[in-house]
Amino acid sequence: MSNIREPQSPIHPHEHKLVRSLGLLDVVMIGIAGMVGGSIFVLTGPAIGLAGSSVILAFILNAIITLFTAMGYAELGSAMPEAGGGYLWVREGLRRPNAFISGWMAWLAHIIAGSLYAVGFGSFFVSLLQMTNILPIESLFGIIPLDKLTAVAVVAVFTFINIKGTSETGRVGTIITVVQLVAITSIIIAGLWVMSSNPNNNWQSNFADFLPMGFVGLVAAMGLTFIAFEGYEIIVQTGEEIKNPKRNIPRAIFISLALVVIMYCLIAFVSIGAIFPDMPSWQFIGQNGELGIMKAVELFMPYGAFIVLAGGLVSTLAALNATTFSSARVAFAMGRHYNLPHRLSAIHLKFKTPYVSVILSCIIMGTMAYTLPLEDIAHASAVIFLLLFTQVNLAVISIRKMYGDKLDYGYKTPFFPYVSIIGIILTISLAVYLLITAPLSWAIAVLWILIGFTIYRIFTFKKEIEHYSPTLTSEGNLQRKDFRILLPYTPENPDRLIRYAIQVAKEKDGEINILRTITVPHQTPLSAGIAFIDSARRTFDSLEETLNKEEVVWHYFVRISHDATEAVLTTIAEQKINLMIVDYETMRRNKKLQTLITCDTLAIIPHSEDFIVVDRPNNNANETILTTRKEDKKNMVILYDNGDNSDEILRVTSWFTNTERFNLYVIAINRKGLNNNNNNKVNSKSKEEFTNNKDTSLFIKRRNFFQEAGIELNEIYVTEDIEKDGIQFAKLILKSIMMYNPDVVITESYIGKYNLFTSTKFASLLLSQLNNPIIIVRDYAIPFVNIVTHSMNRITGNLGPVYLVRLLKNKIK
């Protein structure tokens, strides 16, 4: 089988450039517009009805909660300032298809928000016309609702403004937001004057019952208003159009967040404190719901209702402008990376704006504003934003670990990674709260995600491959196996790891996929790689001969890419790879591969050429095993830590353990059990206490299973002090391994808290002293699944790997 394709040359990302024309003030105004919107007048009333005067505390708590995520946005916005914001960072820091799903969610959420603001403007505008008797009708020709028609018209206006130019968009947004701030400030000043000017007004009594609805009401108000403080997602969309983003994006996020929180608190404060109705003021405002703030302002300020309506009009215009801008930038970024049609990344030759993305986003926005019951899907945008913020917090941790200090940060989140972890917990908690209080919002969000995932698998993924890591040629057997092994080709020693791949393929009845990647500079079009097809194909001849001789199913791929890691990740996803066998040093140096890989990994340190594939004596001539040239009997040592990879290491051991070829020894880390070297005394515990400990009793059960299988088990008793000292811990483990004069060592990738790929001193001391092949096992699972599964096993006493121990027992007898 042979297939040769000519790759399509992607336009270099830097050719699709936006213009940096926005200053700090412009972006602060965009952030304020996105966070205030019409919410300050519409949501504050119902929130007061839920929490009473403690709504001020609800606003402050929401600000503290959202600050954990805002710091992550400030960090990545300063270091990676490009259009796309959260989508871009998830693409860089999380595995496929997280990037597409995050962009797909963000695009919809921004469009829904824009539609809501457009309909809000239409409602305010028609109410204002009716209040002044300028236009006392509600529909045109008795068929077309005026508020809906107005919503579509205002979307069209902002479509034109956003196409006309970024500076025009910023200028219009700044003007509108200033008018909005004037209206809000005038209400606050009037309320404070009423409260302070008349000493007979006992305004303090309005705050006497601080929690009238209890803690439940406070939490309900927080859930209702939380999403109003998430405007930093809009701010980071200006990444390619703001001047000096390294400095200005963090400043814009924190300045706008601080100002908005103060405004919300003061509006609530004066609305409650400056009125004296026949009932508690918070109850009066709550009974009037969305009109509560307007009714309150009407009592203490001349033309108060008119000013609130006018302020609401201007606020929704400012928010509509901001969400039109941000939704278009998400679509632009996704088009640039081929997650949506590439045409969406087109830049207007004259105005230097992503005009196709603006037009498409606004068409969808206007259609939704006119046709859909937006109140029913408004909560879905809140769920979507919360899921996006969770992904971004994960990306903050991942990108910091991947790149370290290689990125030029203008701001770094303090107390890393705890701030991001708290952000994840808080956003997930609020999303779960919405699942309880507004289950339909989750149903809509999940449906949208499923639609997006289907589009990704059918269309988007293929387009990504065509433009970033296309296959130049592919050869191999027509037959495919369920279990698939990937072996990245190493020109220096192409057959170095093939023996291990053959052994696993025979044990698992699997296939071997060999990947050769031709890497070209970023400034060179991928089509230039066609010149290397013949030479790349010839390098495979020796491997093909070996594979055919061993009668294993194989496939050979030649890809070309600007990024060799991207080619590997693409092949894993496209070919549904189960296991990658790779050189340890290659894996250790590649943090991106460690972070984004989506299959199990065997990282090999060969150390010698002793291990070869030979015929199995006294057995089927077609079977093969891993053995040595020197002696028939060799020592295989398994370093077992009962950790997240504990099941996988036993499974891998079963692949390489064959009949009487190996003596099998297991060295297990025992942190809480009996000290075998100290007359079985338990440190600071009686034997009864030790036996009743769930962690320890589980360990004893597993130890018994090893012994029943005829596998020699040596437990290393480790105290906390020894484990904290990586050097001493490594020496202790090394000493135990060397007792068995090992010919091959199989170990988990994590030994306690030490990662053999990233803990340099620990790994170097442990691995460099072993002059034999080492197989490092790294299990892949959906994030946190391994941790949860392993924790449940510890809690319930479930013997997860028992069946694997029995498998080993059968293999060695």
DSSP string covering 192-222, please? Answer: HHHHHH-TT--GGGGGSSS-TTHHHHHHHHH
CB atoms within 10 A of CB 784: 9
Residue 801 has pLDDT above 80, yes or no: no
Residue 706 has pLDDT above 70, yes or no: no
Burial class (CB in 10 A: 0-12, 13-18, 19+), 215: exposed
In 3D, which of 255, 265, 197, 253 has the Cα closest to residue 225? 265
Average pLDDT taken over every residue of the chain: 81
**Alpha carbons 217 and 52: distance in angstroms, whole number:** 8
Task: Pull the structure tokens for residue 280.
Answer: 């508690």
- Of residues 407 and 17, more confidently modeled: 407
Residue 173 has pLDDT above 80, yes or no: no
Residue 694 has pLDDT above 70, yes or no: no
- Of residues 17 and 572, more confidently modeled: 572
Amino acid 208: pLDDT: 85
Residue 582 has pLDDT above 70, yes or no: yes
Highest mean pLDDT (candidates 108-112, 211-215, 390-394) = 390-394
CB atoms within 10 A of CB 406: 8
For 192-201, 304-313, 363-372, 670-679, which range has the lowest pLDDT when averaged over its residues? 670-679
The confidence band for 152, taking pLDDT boundaries of 50, 70 and 90, is very high
The confidence band for 761, taking pLDDT boundaries of 50, 70 and 90, is confident
Are the C-beta atoms of 239 and 245 separated by less than 8 Å? yes
Amino acid 146: pLDDT: 82
Burial class (CB in 10 A: 0-12, 13-18, 19+), 420: buried
Amino acid 677: pLDDT: 44
The confidence band for 614, taking pLDDT boundaries of 50, 70 and 90, is very low
Beta strands in 676-804 (DSSP E): 712-717, 744-748, 750-751, 754-755, 774-778
Amino acid 263: pLDDT: 93
Amino acid 806: pLDDT: 53
- Of residues 768 and 438, more confidently modeled: 768
Amino acid 321: pLDDT: 86
- Of residues 192 and 222, more confidently modeled: 192
Amino acid 267: pLDDT: 93
Burial class (CB in 10 A: 0-12, 13-18, 19+), 586: middle
Residue 38 has pLDDT above 60, yes or no: yes
3-state secondary structure 352-365: CCCHHHHHHHHHHH
**Alpha carbons 171 and 659: distance in angstroms, whole number:** 78
Residue 204 has pLDDT above 70, yes or no: yes
Amino acid 679: pLDDT: 38
Mean pLDDT for 306-325 is 85
**Alpha carbons 144 and 429: distance in angstroms, whole number:** 41
**Alpha carbons 681 and 701: distance in angstroms, whole number:** 19
Residue 680 has pLDDT above 60, yes or no: no
**Alpha carbons 605 and 400: distance in angstroms, whole number:** 28
Amino acid 580: pLDDT: 96
Amino acid 702: pLDDT: 61
**Alpha carbons 120 and 139: distance in angstroms, whole number:** 16
Residue 784 has pLDDT above 70, yes or no: no
Question: How do 662-670 and 634-640 pair as beta strands?
Answer: parallel
Mean pLDDT for 224-236 is 81
**Alpha carbons 113 and 131: distance in angstroms, whole number:** 27
Amino acid 513: pLDDT: 95
In 575-645, which residue ranges form alpha helices assigned H by DSSP? 584-589, 591-596
Amino acid 707: pLDDT: 67
Residue 75 has pLDDT above 90, yes or no: yes
Highest mean pLDDT (candidates 10-24, 63-77, 431-445, 488-502) = 63-77
Are the C-beta atoms of 338 and 351 separated by less than 8 Å? no
Amino acid 467: pLDDT: 82
The confidence band for 696, taking pLDDT boundaries of 50, 70 and 90, is low
Residue 780 has pLDDT above 70, yes or no: yes
For 1-5, 332-336, 601-605, which range has the lowest pLDDT when averaged over its residues? 1-5
- Collect all residues with Cβ–Cβ distance below 8 Å to 705 and sequence separation of at least 6: 799, 802, 805, 806
Residue 809 has pLDDT above 60, yes or no: no
Are the C-beta atoms of 118 and 372 separated by less than 8 Å? no
Question: C-alpha distances in angstroms, 392 versus 35, 240, 409, 421, 424?
Answer: 19, 19, 16, 11, 9
In 3D, which of 656, 612, 697, 630 has the Cα closest to residue 812? 656
Amino acid 234: pLDDT: 84
Mean pLDDT for 74-98 is 88
The confidence band for 135, taking pLDDT boundaries of 50, 70 and 90, is low
Residue 678 has pLDDT above 60, yes or no: no
Mean pLDDT for 374-389 is 76
Helix (H, G, I), strand (E, B) or coil at 511: strand
Share of the chain above pLDDT 70, in %: 82
Amino acid 630: pLDDT: 43
* DSSP structural state of residue 458: I
Burial class (CB in 10 A: 0-12, 13-18, 19+), 640: buried
Amino acid 442: pLDDT: 87
Amino acid 404: pLDDT: 80
**Alpha carbons 335 and 342: distance in angstroms, whole number:** 4
Mean pLDDT for 419-425 is 93
Amino acid 374: pLDDT: 60
Residue 70 has pLDDT above 90, yes or no: yes
- Residue 610 sits at φ, ψ, to 5 deg, of -65, -35
Amino acid 648: pLDDT: 79
Amino acid 292: pLDDT: 87
For 240-249, 412-421, 804-813, which range has the lowest pLDDT when averaged over its residues? 804-813
Amino acid 708: pLDDT: 65
In 540-612, which residue ranges form alpha helices assigned H by DSSP? 541-550, 564-574, 584-589, 591-596
Are the C-beta atoms of 486 and 526 separated by less than 8 Å? no
Residue 617 has pLDDT above 60, yes or no: no
Task: Pull the structure tokens for residue 138.
Answer: 């509600």
Say how far residue 238 (Cα) sits from the centre of its chain: 21
Amino acid 168: pLDDT: 65
**Alpha carbons 130 and 97: distance in angstroms, whole number:** 50
Highest mean pLDDT (candidates 225-229, 253-257, 434-438, 450-454) = 253-257
Mean pLDDT for 282-302 is 88
Q: pLDDT, tens digit, for every residue of 652-676?
A: 888 887 646 778 888 888 776 444 4
**Alpha carbons 689 and 551: distance in angstroms, whole number:** 56
**Residue 11: left if φ>0, alpha if ψ -120 to 50, beta else—which one?**
beta
Task: Pull the structure tokens for residue 733.
Answer: 């483990």
Residue in this structure with the two tokens 């919809």, named with its chain if needed: 108
**Sign of the dihedral through C-alpha 380, 421, 693, 737:** positive
Q: pLDDT, tens digit, for every residue of 503-518?
A: 999 989 999 999 998 8
The confidence band for 352, taking pLDDT boundaries of 50, 70 and 90, is confident
Mean pLDDT for 608-634 is 47
pTM: predicted TM-score of the whole model, two decimal places: 0.80
- Of residues 334 and 372, more confidently modeled: 334
User: C-alpha angle with apex 182: 177 to 188, nearest 5 degrees?
Assistant: 125
